[in-house]
Structure 1
Amino acid sequence: MNPRRSFLRLATVAVIGLTLVGCTTVGALLGNDVTFTAAQLQHSLNRNFPKHYDKLGGLVSLTLMNPRLSIPPNSNRLRVDFDVGLGALGSDSSQPTGRFALTSALRFDPTTHGLHLQDPVIENVDVPALGGVMNASSRALLNSWLGDYARQEPVYRFDNSLLDKLGARRIGTTQIENGVVVVHLDQ
Structure 2
Amino acid sequence: MPVRHRWSAAAFCAFALLALAACGTLNTVSGIFGNQINFTAPQLQRYLNNSFPREFDKLGGLVSATLTNPKLTIPPGDNRLRLDFDVGVRAVGAGEVSRGRFALASSLRYDPATRGLHLQNPEIVSMEVPGSGSLIKGGTRELLNAVLAEYAREEPVYRIDSDLLARLPSGKRIGSTDIENGLVVVHLDR
Normalising to structure 2: TM-score of the pair?
A: 0.76
Correspondence for 2:183: 180
Question: How far does residue 92 in structure 1 lie from its aligned partner after superposition?
Answer: 5.0
> What CA distance in whole angstroms lies between the structure 2 residues aligned with 1:182 and 1:169?
15
What letter corresponds to residue 110 of structure 1 in structure 2? P
Correspondence for 2:111: 109
Q: Using a 3 Å threshold, how does the CA distance of structure 1 residues 152 and 134 change in structure 2: closer, same or farther?
A: same
Correspondences of 1:42-121 after superposition (within 5 Å): 42-90=45-93, 97-121=99-123
Structure 1 alignment gaps of length 5 or more: 1-27
Cα shift readout 1:63-122 (whole Å, capped 9, x = no counterpart): 0000000000000000000000111224555xx820000000011111111101111100
Structure 2 alignment gaps of length 5 or more: 1-30
- Does the 8 Å contact 2:129/2:137 carry over to 1? no
| Partner SS state of residue 84, structure 1 | strand
Question: How far does residue 133 in structure 1 lie from its aligned partner after superposition?
Answer: 8.3
Give the share of equivalent positions with the same residue, in percent. Answer: 58
Correspondence for 2:20: none
Q: Using a 3 Å threshold, how does the CA distance of structure 1 residues 155 and 52 change in structure 2: closer, same or farther?
A: same
| Partner SS state of residue 130, structure 1 | coil
Question: How far does residue 29 in structure 1 lie from its aligned partner after superposition?
Answer: 3.5
> What CA distance in whole angstroms lies between the structure 2 residues aligned with 1:110 and 1:142?
26
What letter corresponds to residue 83 of structure 2 in structure 1? V
| Partner SS state of residue 128, structure 1 | coil
- Does the 8 Å contact 1:102/1:123 carry over to 2? yes
> What CA distance in whole angstroms lies between the structure 1 residues aligned with 2:128 and 2:89?
12
Q: How many residues align?
A: 159
Q: Using a 3 Å threshold, how does the CA distance of structure 1 residues 32 and 172 change in structure 2: closer, same or farther?
A: same
| Partner SS state of residue 167, structure 2 | helix
Correspondence for 1:144: 146
**Which shifted more, 169-178 or 128-137?**
128-137
What letter corresponds to residue 55 of structure 2 in structure 1? H
